[in-house]
Structure 1
Amino acid sequence: MPADLTDLTDQLVLGPSQAIGIPIALIGAVFLSLGAQFQHRGVTKVEASRGDAVPGLSMSQIFALLARPSWVTGTLLIGLAIVLQLTSLRFAPLIVVQPLGAIALVITSVLNARVSHVKLNRQSVRAIIFCVGGVGLFVTVAAFTAVEKRITSAQLITILIILAVVLAVFAVLFGLIRHRMGAIAYIVAAGVLYGFVATLAKVVINRIVQGDFEWLTILCLVGLLAAGAGGAYCVQTAYSAGPPDLVIAGLTVVDPLVAVGIGVIVLGEASQAPLYAIPLFIIAGAIAVYGVFQLAKHHPQARH
């Protein structure tokens, strides 16, 4: 096959058929916000009935969550959100779909304010605008510049090596400073791990579609499950240390930044982007991250 035709088959610019991934991802974000609210309620009830002086959920608290209807409902809703997210990844590039979860932050903030009867102050609202605005700018640029590329075995091995290093570093830090970790630390850890989950899910989906289901794909599934388990623990612990909208703010910013970083650096999904897109990506990411830390600082419930 001629080189130009090979390049054409390897790069699929975002078109009408791929754009269907965007509304699917938005619907998933709605279920994510609802699930987060239910899970947060379950975690806070378990903590209230089984107090623990040590930061982080204990094994007894984790098992107790399974008996909380609110937590189970939230888990089912988040499971549905994940299914929708994986479906959206089948159609659209990672750097377009993944940041769309930021819409869940707005929904979660409104829900939590009504449920907890805690009105968001001006600084919190401004922080949420920064989060959503930064992610929105990122998605807008990515939607017009992203390309879908075939994932090679070398790229896949690179992702798995990076994940192994990240898991090892997090395990060491957790063992050393667990007693000093607050909500923001667990949120960042969960966001990083879920970023790898999204990336590996995209990889597995693409390789199955391409008919490349072999030992490397199975190793990807193992890495996905390991990162997912670690991220789930961090999220539940973050719920016990902070409000749900702060948790969702961290996840919908850190998660896509990690996934997008991998998509850009390792998978080459921004290889066709014009030069002006790179500084816009950086500025958009910085705005969103600034919003997360401002929300952690000024949110009424986080301050309490």
Structure 2
Amino acid sequence: MHSALTDLAADIAIDPRQAIGIPLALVGAVFLSLGAQFQHRGVTKVEAHTAQVSGGLTVRQVTLLLARPSWVFGTVMLGLAIVLQLSSLNFAPLIVVQPLGAIALVMTTVINARISKVSPTRASLIAIGMCVGGVGLFVTVAAFTAVDKPVTHANLTTILVMLGIVLVAFAVAFFFLRRQFKAIFYILGAGVLYGFVATLAKVIINRVQHANFDWLTLACVLGLLLAAGFGAYFVQNAYASGPPDLVIAGLTVVDPLVAVCIGVVVLGEASQAPIWAGVVFVVAGVVAIWGVFVLARYHPQSEH
């Protein structure tokens, strides 16, 4: 028995610094929820005063958003959420702090129900439970098995190449198919891009701390800005075609899972995790992602 407990302790890597990173990520989730609600309000008001067209928000509509106090305030809140998230990445592994944003989904659901006076259906509540439960299970296991790993030049090059492929793929799809897009595409697209943003942000923070300024660092900054810019545009289009809690559901599930996949496959942050943890990661991820699709289908405010 003693031997079994010793082996289990050896498999678990607990870093006291995570005690700082996790609360920062949770507070960031609160700002994410509030920011989403205010931005959604701003987008819907702009659409109400302009001709609604398919194929994404126009340049004029995007410009008008800057004149909406609710949208600007929401953007400030999201900015604070990003600052807190980046701060949390300085204390805990990527695959620990990223999934904690799922708490924002619960908050956004409650706030949106009170504002819109549209109560969530039983099916949508089950979907939300799948999202939060899947991500919650994931982060619980990750908190005990994840470790920080140094990012090599080869790792970084791989991440940047992957991002380049993703950006080109989304740009081509948007150019040719945007008139057929629904909220779910924009949500998935933004989630994937923000997953890269979180990863690159952690890399840049580390390289700046070590005064490592080279062409790869500049490439990371450029990649982060491109991913954040396209991701932000996709989010605004998602708000224009779907309720805020659906948008947050996608972002708080897809975003961390993409970042986690990068952390596991490229950075090796789960290299010390036992086999059972890998199985839990896969099952929890499938449950969470399926919850997003169920919510998109059964949300009382969703467009089908």
- Counterparts of 2:89 and 2:14 in 1: how far apart (Å)? 12
Aligned letter for 1:87?
A: S
| Displaced runs of 4 or more, over 3 A | none
Contact 1:14–1:148 at 8 Å: present in 2 too? no
Alignment of 1:38-49 (within 5 A): 38-49=38-49
- Counterparts of 2:74 and 2:17 in 1: how far apart (Å)? 31
Aligned letter for 1:123?
A: A
Q: Say if 2:20 is the partner of 1:20.
A: yes
Residue 301 of structure 2: SS of its match in structure 1? helix
Q: Say if 2:25 is the partner of 1:50.
A: no
Q: Specify every segment of 5 or more residues in structure 2 that has no aligned partner in the other structure, as ranges.
A: 1-11
Q: Specify every segment of 5 or more residues in structure 1 that has no aligned partner in the other structure, as ranges.
A: 1-11
Contact 1:13–1:148 at 8 Å: present in 2 too? no
Q: Say if 2:186 is the partner of 1:186.
A: yes
Equivalence for 1:159: 159
Offset of residue 209 of structure 1? 2.0
Alignment of 1:1-304 (within 5 A): 13-303=13-303
- Tell me which moved more, 108-117 or 207-216: 207-216
Contact 2:241–2:303 at 8 Å: present in 1 too? no
Size of the aligned set, in residue pairs, is 293
Equivalence for 1:9: none
TM-score (norm 1): 0.95
Offset of residue 14 of structure 1? 3.9
Deviation digits for residues 28-79 of structure 1 (CA, Å, limit 9, x no counterpart): 0000000000000000000010123223100000000000000000000000
Residue 301 of structure 1: SS of its match in structure 2? coil
- Counterparts of 1:73 and 1:85 in 2: how far apart (Å)? 18
Contact 1:14–1:92 at 8 Å: present in 2 too? no
Deviation digits for residues 143-177 of structure 1 (CA, Å, limit 9, x no counterpart): 01001011111100110000001101111111110
Aligned letter for 2:30?
A: V
Offset of residue 303 of structure 1? 4.5
- Counterparts of 1:187 and 1:53 in 2: how far apart (Å)? 19
Residue 275 of structure 2: SS of its match in structure 1? coil
- Counterparts of 2:73 and 2:290 in 1: how far apart (Å)? 32
Residue 51 of structure 1: SS of its match in structure 2? coil
In the superposition, relative to structure 1, how do residues 151 and 13 fare at CA in structure 2: closer, same or farther (>3 Å)?
farther
- Counterparts of 1:244 and 1:173 in 2: how far apart (Å)? 24
